[in-house]
Amino acid sequence: MRLDKFIGHARDLSRVQIHVLIKRGAVSVNSIIAQKGAQQVSESDVITLNGEPVLLAKNRYLMLHKPIGYVCANSDSEHPTVLDLIDEPNKQNLQIAGRLDVDTTGLVLITDDGQWNHRVTAPKSQCKKTYRVTTVAPIAADTLALFAAGIQLHGEKKPTEPAQLVLIDEHTAQVTISEGKYHQVKRMFAASGNRVVALHRESIGEILLDPALPQGKYRALTQTEIEAI
């Protein structure tokens, strides 16, 4: 890895700032003052900045309780993003694993581990997501069978994969899907003749939204949760 990239991953510094520090002689590799940011280094090298060791940060795995009004994007011109709720260095390296609509609440996973993110989001992973849904009209009895058989959505080439629907009351249900099509849950209910008025994601795979986590807050995943994906 390039020296400037290594420092950028470890410290919340821009590449320009890093190059200025190198020119000032503030960066050393194995006790030798570095001359160029393009110098190749590895984790076994001892890198210091102003005499202090620079250690490559470990991958981060976060659980966020998303509130309404935030978009799952790194930047947006109209709405605040879920990353605005994260107080972490080098936020630009974080990826959102499993997005939610601006008016949907619940579990969002955030990481800088690209392979882990892929395991969450890749269609072939069949990583199940469970939502709590509130509808404007009572949920018809035949909706359970429709979801279990798969629904042909407008603009899609083939029906959805079978989904599990568990009724809680006549306007509320728990829905589990294994795909991530655009507005999928809302479109499935629309195709069944109903409309979703509230949507909340409760789980992704075996990771459950922490009931003690308030909206707008986040915490690190436990090792068990990380390994569950």
Q: For residue 46, which of 38, 55, 37, 35 has the smallest C-alpha distance?
A: 55
Reported for 90-95, long-range contacts at CB under 8 A and 24+ positions apart, including other chains, are 90/8, 90/9, 90/11, 90/12, 90/57, 93/9, 94/60, 94/62
**Known catalytic residue at 101:** yes
Q: Which two tokens stand for residue 44?
A: 């076994």
Would the pTM count as exceeding 0.95? no
Q: Residue holding tokens 């990353």? A: 83
Q: Let me know: does 100 contact 201? Beta carbons within 8 Å.
A: yes
Q: Residue holding tokens 């002689």? A: 25
Q: Indicate the average pLDDT of the chain.
A: 93
Class of domain 61-223: alpha beta
Q: What would the CATH number be for the domain defined by 3-53?
A: 3.10.290.10
| Domain assignments of the chain as residue spans, ordered by start | 3-53, 61-223
Residue 8: predicted pLDDT: 85
Distance of CA 229 to the CA centre of its chain: 13
Choice among 45, 76, 84, 101 that is catalytic: 101
Q: What is the mean pLDDT of residues 138-166?
A: 94
pLDDT tens-place string over residues 155-210: 899 999 999 999 999 999 999 999 988 899 999 999 999 999 999 999 999 999 99
pLDDT tens-place string over residues 12-30: 788 999 999 999 999 999 9
